[in-house]
Amino acid sequence: MRDPVWFEKREDGWKCVLCPRGCTFPGGSDRLGLCRVRGVRDGRPFLPGYGRCVSLSIDPIEKKPLYHFLPGSRILSTGPPGCNLTCDFCQNWTISQSDGVPTRYIPPEEMAGICLSEGSAGIAFTYTEPVIWYEYIADTAPLVRERGGAVVMVSNGEVLPEPLERYTEFTDAWNVDLKSWSEDFYSRHCSGRLSTVLGTLKTLAASRCHLEVTFLIIPGENDDPSDWEEMADWLADNCGRNTVLHISRYFPGYRLKRPPTPEETLISAHETFSSRLDHVYVGNVATDFSHTLCPSCGAVCIERKGWSVNTDGLREGKCAACGADLGIVYEL
């Protein structure tokens, strides 16, 4: 079995230093961390979730969502059986928050072989929370990239700075959730920290990795327009006004039973964010805000209908009409 990393020996046991949760394992007792994929057994760190995949399917890359990274491609998607947050509104709680989730063990070599079959552009670590799967991704990603594939992370952004820096060396694109502009929200609903996510966004924006952000709007919880203005300003100032933002519609699920986000709220949020960011999309609902428009000349560069993607308005990742750079990665 692969040697675990990101564990520190303490006088009274072990501490995991992969994510801000900082699970401790006093006295070397047999125990799992909150994420269920890392722990201590027989006095030593161990990785019960290594290579244990909860799901495996080839999805449109737009479903991650990534709109400016290899648009129109399909990507093999998988994830570990756990998460380091406990969001009340988790849409995948049956695989992220439950014990005994059925899994299939796929070693890195085999996964790298599978993921470039059937037209996949690479691999997306998604569905649950990939950052807790550090060792497996560190072993698999280089094999995928050696074969010309892309490595995508769809994450909550709750990871400590040092492992994050290492992740940027062997991953290519990230979609990170920015769940709220309030530390109180993160604490009450997710047992997470906004400050950590903001640090992650800054690091990724400054790195070689492509970055997109998702904001799920929940009625009565994170729908204050003054918060949206501050969030949009922060994203423009710290990640760049060309940062891609996906505004997503909430539907009730798991422990939170608010009504679905009204369409007017999504349209209002689109207007607020679009005044500060060049590429704002609305997802989980049928609107006209799914196409990529050129911020310079207004031409439609990518047209999307459901999962169908037409890139006729692009030329080598730039606007075909005026040549403006849209920050689109169209090949590796």
- Tell me whether residue 34 or residue 197 sits nearer to ligand SF4 (CB atom): 34
Which segment (21-29, 72-80, 274-282, 297-305) binds ligand SF4 by CB under 6 A?
Answer: 21-29
Check residue 112 for interaction with ligand SF4 (CB under 6 A). Answer: no
Decide if residue 54 touches ligand SF4 (CB under 6 A).
no
Can residue 26 be called a binding residue for ligand SF4 (CB under 6 A)? Answer: no
Closest CB to ligand SF4 among 82 and 122? 82
Angle formed by the axes of helices 263-274 and 225-239, to 10°? 40
Least distance in angstroms from the C-beta of 152 to ligand SF4: 20
132 near ligand SF4 (CB under 6 A): yes
Among 19, 66, 164, 319, binds ligand SF4 (CB under 6 A): 19
Among 73, 77, 78, 84, binds ligand SF4 (CB under 6 A): 84
Q: Are 295 and 316 in contact (CB under 8 A)?
A: no
Shortest spacing between CB 328 and ligand SF4, in angstroms: 33
Closer Cβ to ligand SF4, 33 or 327, answer by number: 33
Contact 25, 10 (CB under 8 A): no
> Which residues, at least 6 apart from 172, have a Cβ–Cβ distance to it below 8 Å?
69, 122, 145, 150, 151, 152, 209, 210, 329, 332
**Angle subtended by helix axes 161-170 and 134-146, to nearest 10:** 20
- Residues 189 and 87 sit within 8 Å (Cβ to Cβ): yes
Using rule CB under 6 A, residue 16 touches ligand SF4 = yes
Q: Kindly tell me which of 46 and 250 has the beta carbon lying closer to ligand SF4.
A: 46
Q: How far apart are CA 170 and CA 159, in angstroms?
A: 16
Residue 284, amino acid: N
Residue with tokens 């990871």: 159
DSSP lists the bridge partners of residue 303 as 310
Residue 38 touching ligand SF4 (CB under 6 A): yes
| 312 Cβ neighbours under 8 A, 6+ residues apart | 303, 320
CB of 134 to ligand SF4, least distance (A): 8
Interacting positions 200-259 with ligand SF4 (CB under 6 A): none
Q: Is 35 in the site for ligand SF4 (CB under 6 A)?
A: yes
Based on the shown chain and the rule CB under 6 A, indicate whether residue 192 belongs to the binding site for ligand SF4: no
What's the min distance (Å) between Cβ of 21 and ligand SF4?
Answer: 4
Interaction of residue 33 with ligand SF4, rule CB under 6 A: yes
Confirm or reject binding of residue 151 to ligand SF4 (CB under 6 A): no
Residues in the site for ligand SF4, rule: CB under 6 A?
Answer: 16, 18-19, 21-23, 33-35, 38, 84, 132
